[in-house]
């Protein structure tokens, strides 16, 4: 684990993560949590269009193809975009817990430059849960799922209720989301834990 911050170290009383019984099966695509999401939404032409697939336990894999719109230096991915890809991948783990959570802390190591046109092969897993706090870790590799690590991150997500979005989001997008039955179903399914 690369995280050096003490807030990314699970406390002694943390538990192992438990995969939700209705979590998507290993190999299944997770789909977007919101079609306008910069990370996973299909309606954002310059977004990452990241596709995550459930793995075993509370883990997943995802792929992100770096587009010209994602450049920082000529021909290289912007570091903030790579951090976004890690954030989105780590955030997608919450599908497997069936918990709504937002990023509280994200610590990223940039190990190798990532060229435009390359596919970043992401792997992420939840390492521990303590109350509302979800600890997770991810890597992004080049050239294939077993290729060299280009980026890695450790994160702390904090569980929230749907009200977090309803109370804080811009009203026009919230209204549109609440008028979309599929979106409401997706959000509510996460809120009700057995």
Strand partners, 62: 52, 122
Burial of 192 (0-12, 13-18, 19+ CB in 10 A): exposed
Cβ-based nearer residue to ligand 3IX, 3 or 55: 3
Picking from 85, 91, 92, the residue whose alpha carbon sits closest to that of residue 108 is 85
Q: How far apart are CB 111 and ligand 3IX at their closest, in Å?
A: 21
Q: How far apart are CB 73 and ligand 3IX at their closest, in Å?
A: 24
The C-alpha atoms of residue 132 and residue 156 are separated, in whole angstroms, by 10
Q: How far apart are CB 184 and ligand 3IX at their closest, in Å?
A: 5
Residue least distant from ligand 3IX (Cβ): 91
Picking from 93, 82, 8, the residue whose alpha carbon sits closest to that of residue 59 is 93
Cβ-based nearer residue to ligand 3IX, 146 or 182: 182
Cβ-based nearer residue to ligand 3IX, 55 or 91: 91
3-state secondary structure of 194: coil
Picking from 18, 87, 78, 88, the residue whose alpha carbon sits closest to that of residue 51 is 88
Q: How far apart are CB 144 and ligand 3IX at their closest, in Å?
A: 25
Q: How far apart are CB 74 and ligand 3IX at their closest, in Å?
A: 28
Long-range contacts made by residues 175-184, C-beta under 8 angstroms, separation at least 24? 177/34, 183/34
Cβ-based nearer residue to ligand 3IX, 113 or 158: 158
Cβ-based nearer residue to ligand 3IX, 79 or 147: 79
Q: How far apart are CB 35 and ligand 3IX at their closest, in Å?
A: 10
Q: How far is CA 24 from CA 11, 57, 68, 80, 95, in A?
A: 29, 11, 32, 29, 8
Cβ-based nearer residue to ligand 3IX, 44 or 113: 44
Residues within the interface to ligand 3IX (CB under 6 A)? 7, 33-34, 39, 87-88, 91, 100, 102-105, 131-133, 156, 158, 160, 162, 165-166, 177-178, 183-184, 187, 190
Instruction: Give the DSSP H/E element, type plus range, for residue 90.
Output: helix 79-92
């Amino acid at each position: 684990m690369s995280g050096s911050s003490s807030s990314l170290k699970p406390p002694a009383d943390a538990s192992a993560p438990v995969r939700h019984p209705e979590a998507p099966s290993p190999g299944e695509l997770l789909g977007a949590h919101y079609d306008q999401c910069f990370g996973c939404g299909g309606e954002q032409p310059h977004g990452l269009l990241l596709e995550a697939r459930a793995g075993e336990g509370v883990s997943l894999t995802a792929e992100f193809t770096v587009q010209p719109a994602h450049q920082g230096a000529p021909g290289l991915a912007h570091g903030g975009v790579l951090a976004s890809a890690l954030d989105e991948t780590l955030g997608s783990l919450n599908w497997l817990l069936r918990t709504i959570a937002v990023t509280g802390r994200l610590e990223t190591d940039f190990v190798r430059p990532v060229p435009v046109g390359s596919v970043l092969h992401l792997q992420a897993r939840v390492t521990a849960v303590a109350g509302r706090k979800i600890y997770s870790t991810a890597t992004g590799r080049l050239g294939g799922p077993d290729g060299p690590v280009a980026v890695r991150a450790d994160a702390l997500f904090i569980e929230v209720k749907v009200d977090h979005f309803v109370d804080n989001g811009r009203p026009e997008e919230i209204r549109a989301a609440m008028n979309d039955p599929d979106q409401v179903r997706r959000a509510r399914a996460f809120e009700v834990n057995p």
